[in-house]
Structure 1
Amino acid sequence: MYEFGEFRLDEAERLLSRRGVTVPLTPKAFDLLLALVDQPGRLLDKETLLSTLWPDSFVEENNLADNIFKLRRVLGDGENGRRFIETVPKRGYRFVADVRAVAPLTAQGPELAPQVVAEPPRQAEAREGQVPLPATNTRRLVTVPWLVAAAMTLLVVALWIGQIRRGTPDPPRLLKASLLPPEDASFGDIALSPDGKWLAFTAATGSRVQLWLRSLAHDKAIPVESTDGASHPFWSPDSRVVGFFASGKLKKVELGGGLPVPLCRASAGTGGTWNREGVILFTVLGVPQILRVSASGGTPEVVLHADPGQTDLHEPFFLPDGRRFLYLAISGGKKNAGGIHVGSLDGKLRQRVLDHDSNAIFVAGDPNDRHRGYLLFGREGGLMALAFDSDGLHTSGEAEPIAARLGTVQGANLSYRRRNFTAADNGLLIYDPHIDRQRSQLLWVDRHGTPLHVLAQLDNVGVPVLSPDESRIVVARKDLATNNNDLWLTDPLGDNPAKFTFDPGSDLLGIWSPDGQRIVWTSTRNGSFDLYEKEVSSQGTDTPLLRSEQPKFPLDWSRDGRFLLYRQIGPQTNHDIFVLPTSGQRKPSPYLQTAAMENGGAFSPNANWIAYSSDESGLVEVYVESFPTHGGKRQISLAGGSGPRWRADGKELYYYSFDGTLMAVSVAGGGASLTTGTPTVLFPFRPASATSGPTYAVTRNGERFLLSAIVETDPKAPLSIVQNWTAGLSTTARYR
């Protein structure tokens, strides 16, 4: 490993970083830089460099010159008097900056004692906060090793040597530690590489969420460039590429550097998995299908549709044969419809394995027999292990807790929270032991984001909507005990919350009628996301408003009461915006139905315009277009946006920007023509949902905002790390 200037070059991991941030390099540019840095001050002739970079090919000197040019541009060679690479005319190149060789962090003897603790086999639960590992500090040249994997391995070797000397080998022991998040950040989704050497995770710094990478042989976590809004990371089988979801797309990024590469549209991903044949399976919120796409990109194809009574599918995970996979099915209220299932790439296999509402993974119990091992999943607030034969698809023994407390991560919206754990076949397990790490909460702020009031009695909430007279709020709330969602009503201060829906299906996304007398929402009680309505003041029944096979989600109700706007997910065009007349034949018709993903429709106060988001440009942006006829279309957001809302007088429009801020845009006109200003920043916040709609409401005068925001109750809480976790299982829980 080398350091020069503000840069660090890691040969083992093939990473170049600057101040802790990964600098993208092509493989040849990296090899060239390594060759130069390895011999600082020495002239390397062109022939030597050409034979080093292209040993088996004849390549013209222009290729070498082109890579030198790329390196100089990346390093900022020549800027502010800095010099790194010197050209020796007609001969070659020399690296002229000071280079410091940095020894890779290693675990040596007594230093390990306070870092990792070995425990007897039956002490399966790690003590929270027991062994905190150092947080990121890019200023240190040599740091206290956190070296989890290497340290644990060395301890195991030491124990094994001791056993050989005694002549009586003992079973592997549990080794436990804690991992602190990067400085000023908090952990989100986590994913171990298949070889157990890297941890990919999302982390929030303020309102900004990014993908990070951390080698388990070093103490430094590195944020990955251009990954804002990342979620649900997963790995390629060779542990060299990370897949993830961001900006309405499925993307991948190489471990060695480079910018993320979009693979396909994926409006709100809820999990992905990758097999050795280059097939990626993934799921999207609100789309009850398992989708497949090539690892090189392309058009997604449907592998498996949800069964009747299932409203959503999440978290696919390939089994060792690369043909069959685990997935989680969400029930719309039908008995025995949900749970952990196994499917196959040919779509012929649909087998229910467990009746648990949790994401699940398979971990091999023996490196020599990867088809027998354990299912890991969440149950009753903890992490469970159950012996499983992935060939015969049958379980054995009893499920046993391996962690008493297991945290969750808010998914793409309120209807889904994933259990936060990950494991590799080398015996390494990482999980979040903090159940209350984050929650969604309602709070009032002013135009500067200054907190005014917290609605403390309501948490785990979704999209808030103010009644037209601003006297009441309707919001969906998740019961973490039952994992069910219902609508609640409350006053603006949140002092008297009252449940509005009581069905065992999920009830979400309530909107008010213009007179404030009725509420329309979406419910899964009939096996799909259908629209229902109910009088607010009465104890009447929930009345079906619109039923069909396609999932539907209400967006807005025109002020004159004539039209209801809703989002529909179709099999061909994905997310579209439809209009439902509230009188006459009440026949719905599409307003926007294209190959792009449209969402977040909102009527202007006079109902002459609709603001919405679309990814037609390749990035989700906010647009305004006339209604009921199309015309006057214009883009409102500048660098990504979603969730538009209008001020009551129509003179201002708001939206959420992907950089984590709420934006405001001035609006003039509004009749036959419309003029919009330049977006301005109001304040940053982290929304509880990235896809369900605008997770904020605004008062009629635009002076106060009601936010449904993610609140970090303990942002510095560490993750728990366990090596040889199977050593803690009882005999009856082991696979046979």
Structure 2
Amino acid sequence: MSGEGSRRSLAGSQAGVAAPLIARKKSRERLGWAAAIAVALVAGAFASHRLWQQPKPQYRFAIPMIDADYKFGGGAQLSPDGETAYFLATSNSTSKRQLFRRRLDDLNATAIEGTEDVTGLRLSQDGATLLLTYPGAVLKRISVNGGPVESVADGVVGGTAATAVNADGTILIGSIQFPIRRLLPNGSIEEVTQLDKGEAGHDWPWFLPDGKQYLFLAETRDPARGTIRRTLCATEIGSKKITRIGEVPSRVEYALGRIFFVREGTLMARPFSLSRMQFTGEGVPVVPNVPFDSRTGSAAFDVSSDGTVACGQTAAGSHLTWVNSSGKKIGTVGNPLSMPVFGGSPQVIALVPGADRAIIPITDFRAGTSSLWIQGLGRETSTRVTFSPAQEMLPVVTPDGSRVFFSSDAQSAPDIFEAPLDGSLPPKLVVSAPNAQVPNDVSADGRFLLFTSNQNQTATKQDLWILPLTGDRKPYPFLVTPAIENHGIFSPDGKWVVYTSDATGAFQVYVRPFPGPGAARPVSTKGGGSAQFSSDGRKIYFSNANKLMVADFARDGIVSEPALAFELDERILTFQPAGDRFLMVLRSDADGSPPVRIIANWQPPAK
């Protein structure tokens, strides 16, 4: 008998039980234990699965955009791990825009040295470097840890507002008037997409996780209606094939398997398949009251790959106020308002002759655009002047009070339109040129419109031009320099123009003869802007933060040393003299610095 047979025979003789019966019983026991263990393992696996799938707790907080070291912060972008925010703010020590860095678990932000005068930023896909934008469409690069600032490109035609940078340093540039372009190592630019028929530009590139594929928006315009349509598209580096996905109202970001965008002021998240390049469900709201511009597609949000969301906050913190010559506030008009800001141009209101009405551009946060309104200053009535879906702002009223010139992007980048105040006729185009055209003032005799233009392909540099309002009405340059010149105002006798320029590296107020020739005379000495003549032309007023300054002005062009007229507890955004008082738009620094809202561990709501 074999050993196996002996063991089986021995086992079978135990307790007088037949061997086959014992074998069947033990087999059932083993199966029972195996089943129990299997059930336990499945339950454990399920519990473990539920434990691992349990989402991290979502919590919300805000980062102040005003502090002891800075104010007017905004444009926050997050590191890929969602632990650090980078944003632009005005330094309290230098009064210049600068880049700041703050860990979300810290209470303090740190300025990154060497980034003074920056106007925009884009964090690289790997979170290692920051691409910075400066006046003159200049691009520079710096490590997120600070260090030397590297020049990348200078004078990029079409602007540098919409950029994307992948992990290997490839830079894409979007534009409302060009295809997507790639910035080459030598600083030159090549087009990498091709505009389809009817498309005006390809804008807002965004790299997908592989660093090769990217999204962008194809923009088409209907000049007759003033509407803009944006189609979300996808392609990849080195390919001419474009997949058109669907319409979106703003720029987009991809994270957590979703496309994020802003619709009517609400940040939305919509499921998206990278493999099929298509939406796979409906969007859900993430957070309301997010600033966005329906005309440019810009939107104040950022989403990190770990699900941290940063977004701005809409705020109507400005107010229209009468102030007397000694600086006493003597009355507030209407409700708090928000006025649009365009490039380097100051905010503007227009006082209708008679000083009983003012024309004000008011932002509609839900529509993401602005329109012109007539605000009654005695009886507080409001009447809308412009009705197109375009961005309409920067009004200038004719001396007889019958018409208004304003900037509108109904047909392209902002051009100058003219409309009757009574609404009897639709607006008509009066100045159209490349880039942006901004009306400044009409001479007292009604013969000339003074306007700011950057049509010389310098993106953010601005010059002063003249449009004759009689004869051939052909525009011509009045002051063209490498510097920025804007906000030109005629003297009451039409022989001088006061304006703002950064020729010295800081914005100062100057006055020069019109129509020329003649040299500029400095008016301000310690900065200033938004200059205005008094009604008799003998004084020049200008603002500097919360101060109203005044300088005596003689008909021969001699300007006195400026003196403080008065100082307020709020910032003067813009003003108009009216006899012995001033109509001002005022705002506190706190109201001008709404916080950045943070959502940590965002997840879509459970179905």
**2:302 match:** 422
Which moved further from structure 2: 589-598 or 462-471? 589-598
Deviation at residue 421 of structure 1 after TM alignment: 2.3
**Residues 632/179 of structure 1: CA separation in 2 closer, same or farther (3 Å cut):** same
**1:720 match:** 598
**1:274 match:** 165
Of the two, which has the highest radius of gyration?
A: 2
Map 1:690-709; keep pairs closer than 5 Å: 695-701=573-579, 703-707=581-585, 709=587
Aligned residues: 543
**Residues 345/678 of structure 1: CA separation in 2 closer, same or farther (3 Å cut):** farther
**2:110 match:** 222
Q: Is the 8 A contact 2:220 2:228 kept in 1?
A: no
Give distance in 2, aligned partners of 1:346 and 1:621.
Answer: 47
Give distance in 2, aligned partners of 1:308 and 1:544.
Answer: 25
Report the TM-score when normalising by structure 1. Answer: 0.62
Deviation at residue 466 of structure 1 after TM alignment: 1.0
Q: 1:481 aligns with which of 352, 362, 366?
A: 366
Give distance in 2, aligned partners of 1:639 and 1:704.
Answer: 22
**Residues 218/584 of structure 1: CA separation in 2 closer, same or farther (3 Å cut):** closer
Structure 1's unaligned 5+ residue stretches are: 1-161, 366-372, 688-693, 731-736
SS state at 2:229 partner:
coil
Deviation at residue 198 of structure 1 after TM alignment: 1.4
What is the identity, as a one-letter code, of the residue corresponding to 1:674?
I
**Residues 444/260 of structure 1: CA separation in 2 closer, same or farther (3 Å cut):** farther
Deviation at residue 174 of structure 1 after TM alignment: 3.6
**1:234 match:** 122
Alignment of 1:443 onto 2:327: no
**Residues 404/235 of structure 1: CA separation in 2 closer, same or farther (3 Å cut):** closer
Q: Is the 8 A contact 1:667 1:676 kept in 2?
A: yes
Q: 1:511 aligns with which of 396, 409, 420?
A: 396
**1:191 match:** 77
Q: Is the 8 A contact 1:241 1:253 kept in 2?
A: yes
Give distance in 2, aligned partners of 1:341 and 1:388.
Answer: 13
Q: 2:288 aligns with which of 400, 405, 410?
A: 405
**Residues 179/453 of structure 1: CA separation in 2 closer, same or farther (3 Å cut):** same
**2:343 match:** none
Q: Is the 8 A contact 2:205 2:216 kept in 1?
A: yes
Deviation at residue 695 of structure 1 after TM alignment: 4.7
Q: 2:339 aligns with which of 454, 461, 483?
A: 461
Give distance in 1, aligned partners of 2:469 and 2:151.
Answer: 40
**Residues 555/300 of structure 1: CA separation in 2 closer, same or farther (3 Å cut):** farther
Map 1:508-657; keep pairs closer than 5 Å: 508-527=393-412, 529-537=414-422, 539-548=424-433, 551-570=436-455, 572-574=457-459, 575-638=462-525, 641-655=528-542, 657=544
What is the identity, as a one-letter code, of the residue corresponding to 1:201?
F
**Residues 452/674 of structure 1: CA separation in 2 closer, same or farther (3 Å cut):** same
Q: Is the 8 A contact 2:406 2:439 kept in 1?
A: yes
Once the two structures are superposed, what CA deviation does each residue of 1:88-114 show, in whole Å capped at 9, x if it has no partner? xxxxxxxxxxxxxxxxxxxxxxxxxxx
Give distance in 1, aligned partners of 2:527 and 2:114.
Answer: 13
Deviation at residue 643 of structure 1 after TM alignment: 3.6
Deviation at residue 632 of structure 1 after TM alignment: 1.3
**Residues 442/230 of structure 1: CA separation in 2 closer, same or farther (3 Å cut):** farther
Deviation at residue 602 of structure 1 after TM alignment: 2.0
Give distance in 1, aligned partners of 2:236 and 2:336.
Answer: 41
Once the two structures are superposed, what CA deviation does each residue of 1:437-463 show, in whole Å capped at 9, x if it has no partner? 455443334567654433334623342
Deviation at residue 473 of structure 1 after TM alignment: 0.7
**Residues 271/513 of structure 1: CA separation in 2 closer, same or farther (3 Å cut):** same
Map 1:107-118; keep pairs closer than 5 Å: none
Give distance in 2, aligned partners of 1:340 and 1:712.
Answer: 37
Once the two structures are superposed, what CA deviation does each residue of 1:612-653 show, in whole Å capped at 9, x if it has no partner? 334455555444332212321244455655443333333333
Give distance in 2, aligned partners of 1:483 and 1:442.
Answer: 22
Alignment of 1:255 onto 2:144: yes
Map 1:680-695; keep pairs closer than 5 Å: 680=564, 682-683=566-567, 695=573
Map 1:69-218; keep pairs closer than 5 Å: 167-170=48-51, 171-182=53-64, 183=67, 188-202=74-88, 211-218=99-106
SS state at 1:699 partner:
strand
Once the two structures are superposed, what CA deviation does each residue of 1:519-553 show, in whole Å capped at 9, x if it has no partner? 12233334453333233346234333334565422
Q: Is the 8 A contact 1:602 1:612 kept in 2?
A: yes
**Residues 177/674 of structure 1: CA separation in 2 closer, same or farther (3 Å cut):** same
SS state at 2:585 partner:
strand
Give distance in 1, aligned partners of 2:521 and 2:180.
Answer: 33
**Residues 375/500 of structure 1: CA separation in 2 closer, same or farther (3 Å cut):** same
**Residues 457/617 of structure 1: CA separation in 2 closer, same or farther (3 Å cut):** same
Q: 2:259 aligns with which of 375, 380, 386?
A: 375
Deviation at residue 675 of structure 1 after TM alignment: 2.7
Give distance in 2, aligned partners of 1:526 and 1:283.
Answer: 19
Give distance in 2, aligned partners of 1:347 and 1:449.
Answer: 62
Structure 2's unaligned 5+ residue stretches are: 1-42, 341-347
Give distance in 2, aligned partners of 1:318 and 1:702.
Answer: 57
What is the identity, as a one-letter code, of the residue corresponding to 1:477?
I
Report the TM-score when normalising by structure 2. Answer: 0.73
**Residues 710/356 of structure 1: CA separation in 2 closer, same or farther (3 Å cut):** farther
Once the two structures are superposed, what CA deviation does each residue of 1:288-342 show, in whole Å capped at 9, x if it has no partner? 4578796999688888899898889865433443574434858564556345555
Alignment of 1:359 onto 2:251: yes
Give distance in 2, aligned partners of 1:312 and 1:470.
Answer: 43
Give distance in 2, aligned partners of 1:268 and 1:252.
Answer: 16
**Residues 307/530 of structure 1: CA separation in 2 closer, same or farther (3 Å cut):** farther
Percent sequence identity is 23
Give distance in 2, aligned partners of 1:176 and 1:187.
Answer: 25
**1:13 match:** none
**Residues 510/189 of structure 1: CA separation in 2 closer, same or farther (3 Å cut):** same
SS state at 2:453 partner:
strand
Deviation at residue 199 of structure 1 after TM alignment: 0.7
Once the two structures are superposed, what CA deviation does each residue of 1:367-420 show, in whole Å capped at 9, x if it has no partner? xxxxxx32111124432222335576x3221233251424227x7xx9768543
Give distance in 1, aligned partners of 2:161 and 2:368.
Answer: 17
**Residues 617/292 of structure 1: CA separation in 2 closer, same or farther (3 Å cut):** farther
Aligned-CA RMSD value: 4.5
SS state at 2:281 partner:
strand
